[in-house]
Amino acid sequence: MGDETRTVLLGIVVEDPSSAESINKILHECRRYIIGRMGLPYSEKGISIISIVMDAPADVISAVSGKIGMLPGVSAKTVWSKNTGKRKE
């Protein structure tokens, strides 16, 4: 892959547990770009928080964040690294 990539942190807050399957499907589709993932249930508030670290082309990152953020009861925000580079495969 010769595309320029960015490293990002994708933060996801899930308020509707019925969206979990759709989130996992989207993340599975882009699994080759995921460096790490951490999920935290916050039972006191009835939500789950997911942190995803990705190294991917900007269009892939935007598509993943957009698809997840459009799901019912889900918020997604992306923090972008300032540096671009080429991902080694």
pLDDT in tens, 19-59: 999 999 999 999 999 999 999 999 999 999 999 999 999 99
What's this model's pTM, rounded to 2 decimal places? 0.88
Q: Which residues contact 57 (CB under 8 A, 6 or more apart)?
A: 3, 4, 5, 6
Could you say which of 3.65.10.10, 3.90.1150.10, 3.40.190.10, 3.30.70.1150 is the CATH number of the domain covering 4-81? 3.30.70.1150
Q: Which residues contact 82 (CB under 8 A, 6 or more apart)?
A: none
Domain range annotation of the chain: 4-81
